[in-house]
Structure 1
Amino acid sequence: MKTLCQIISVLIGLFAAFCMVVGIIPLLGALQWPVLVFCVAGIIFGVFPERKIGLTINIAVGIVALVRLILGGGAL
């Protein structure tokens, strides 16, 4: 079960990272809001396994997405 949680967390983190990179393009900043939701889901799955790679990916992506939202005023 822990291995499955780790795989799910990493996959969610990679998907969120891809969406975050797309959301860095000007006028697509609102895409960061769903990225934060995916990051929270990935963090929840990433807490359970012993190896924390999924947790690390999701926290890093979440921080970058949050900074992008703050710099863009929440939408742009």
Structure 2
Amino acid sequence: MGLFSLLWGILAMLWMVLALIPVIGITNWLLIPFAAIGALIAAIGIALTSPGKRGRAKAGLVLNGIVIVVAVVRLSMFGGLL
């Protein structure tokens, strides 16, 4: 689960970079739930793995969290339209 959440976070981060383009910014509405699912997968991965193997899941959780914060800030800056 850790590797899956890390890959999910990388994909969400790439999508976030694309969503920073002004006209495509409305895709942040879809990006937030996508990254939230990735964060949920990472949290499950952290809970189910042994303490020595949680690094990838933690990295996935951090990446997805960063994506969620940036997407929310981006939407709040322009009223959720751009």
Name the TM-score, length of structure 1 as normaliser.
0.86
| 1:42 and 2:38 correspond | yes
Q: Which structure has the greater CA radius of gyration?
A: 2
Q: How does 1:8-23 map to 2 (within 5 A)?
A: 8-23=4-19
Whole-angstrom distance in 1 between the partners of 2:71 and 2:4: 20
- Which structure carries more relative contact order (alpha carbon 8 Å, separation 6+)? 2
Cα deviations across residues 7-66 of structure 1 (Å, max 9, x unaligned)? 111111111111111111111111111111111111111112222111011001110011
Equivalent residue, structure 1, for 2:49: none
Distance across 1 between alignment mates of 2:73 and 2:6: 21
Q: Does 1:65 align with 2:71?
A: yes
Runs of 4+ with deviation above 2 angstroms = 48-51
Q: Provide structure 1 residue ranges, at least 5 long, that are not aligned to the other structure.
A: none
Q: What is the TM-score when the length of structure 2 is the normalising length?
A: 0.80
Instruction: Report the 3-state secondary structure (helix = DSSP H, G, I; strand = E; otherwise coil) of the residue aligned with 1:27.
Output: helix
Q: Does 1:28 align with 2:24?
A: yes
Contact 1:9 1:42 survives alignment (8 Å): yes
| Count of aligned pairs | 72
Q: Give the letter for the 1:21 counterpart.
A: V
Cα RMSD for the two superposed structures: 1.0
Query: What percent of counterpart residues are identical?
Result: 35
